A and B are shown apart, each in its own frame.
Chain A
Amino acid sequence: MQFVFEIILNLVGFLVGIVIGILSYVGYKNTGSPTLFRLTIAFLSISIGFGVVGAGFLTESLVIKSGEIEPWVQTLGIGIQTIGYFFIAFSHSIKAFFPKSRYFRTLAIPLFVVPGNSIEHIIRSISFILLIYGTIETILSYMANKKSSTVFVASGLGLLALGEFLGWYSVVFPQSILYYVSISTKIAGLGALFVPVSKVPLTGMKFGGSL
């Protein structure tokens, strides 16, 4: 059971993602809001992505037992997570189609240019950029609204971005502790995203009707 740590962390990611995804879906069904629909797709994708990687590790440790997860499984899981990050960034891009920050542009463009030797490198770099964009937009929203719970979401997206960045480096330095730090950071990020969501008073509502 050498993959126990990965299985547990990916399971936590799966659960946190699915809870936020379901809350978003309930919100979409009640209000018909396109924003909540995009958040539903985002968090269900993130959840499924974690689930695919976790299932890959689980299958490997219980069935295949070759000592290494199939690379395509990890790439597929990360790819599905990237779709989720895209939809978070896309929701923000509705407000401002292109980032206004000149700093972000200078940060983002070289990361696209960095040559990747595999699809996983490219996907991780795209995830990182999308998450950084989402983080910056959320921080800008906080500066406009001064709503403290928005800081948790910004921190969560920032930690997910850091987790992706570390995950990118863990491909360069395999067998190092970086992978574990990467997954732990991403789980901490999802936890931070969950904090404000758990405080939203969603009880006592009649669901089922929609506009």
Chain B
Amino acid sequence: MSIIGDILATTRDEAPDESGASVTYLIRKANVSHVRLSKILEMLVQQGLLEQRSSDRACKYKISDRGREFLQAYRGFREFADNFGLRI
């Protein structure tokens, strides 16, 4: 769950350019393997939380409006769980 939060936050706040963040950039930020990140990205795109933008060179990922709402909710509930000394 925290990896998902990190990926969404990265695509929202730290994307290097307007077109979104590349897989390589996300691997470095989320600190996960390529295989695992690919599965997570696929799931996030299917859920409508990320938008996939293909270009000649590589796929880039940008957070969607639904993703922004989810990220806001995630942070609220992470705070909620933190209060109990727990991690969501």
Contacts and interface: CB of A to CB of B under 8 A. Distances in A.
Interface in A147-177: 147, 149-150, 152-154
A145 to B, nearest CB: 7
Interface in B74-88: 74, 76-77, 79-88
Contact of B88 (A36, A140, A202, A204): A36
A27 interface: yes
A150 B80 contact: no
Interface stretch (B10-18, B26-34, B55-63, B65-73): B65-73
B4 interface: yes
B88 A31 contact: yes
B84 A211 contact: no
A196 B73 contact: no
Nearest to A157: B84
Nearest to A27: B77
B35 interface: no
Contact of B77 (A33, A92, A147): A33
Interface size class of A (residues with CB under 8 A): 35 or more
Given A31-B1, A31-B88, A211-B4, A196 B83 contact: yes
B19 interface: no
Interface size class of B (residues with CB under 8 A): 20 to 34
A137 B86 CA distance: 9
Given A33-B77, A35-B88, A36-B77, A200 B83 contact: yes
B44 to A, nearest CB: 9
A35 B73 CA distance: 15
Contacts of B80: 23-24, 27, 36, 197, 200, 202
B81 A30 contact: no
B47 interface: yes
A82 to B, nearest CB: 18
A176 B24 CA distance: 68
Nearest to A201: B76
B12 to A, nearest CB: 16
A154 B76 CA distance: 20
Contact of A205 (B76, B82, B87): B76
Given A35-B87, A202-B76, 16 more contacts: A23-B80, A31-B73, A31-B77, A31-B88, A32-B1, A35-B88, A36-B81, A88-B84, A92-B85, A150-B82, A153-B85, A197-B83, A200-B83, A202-B80, A206-B66, A209-B70
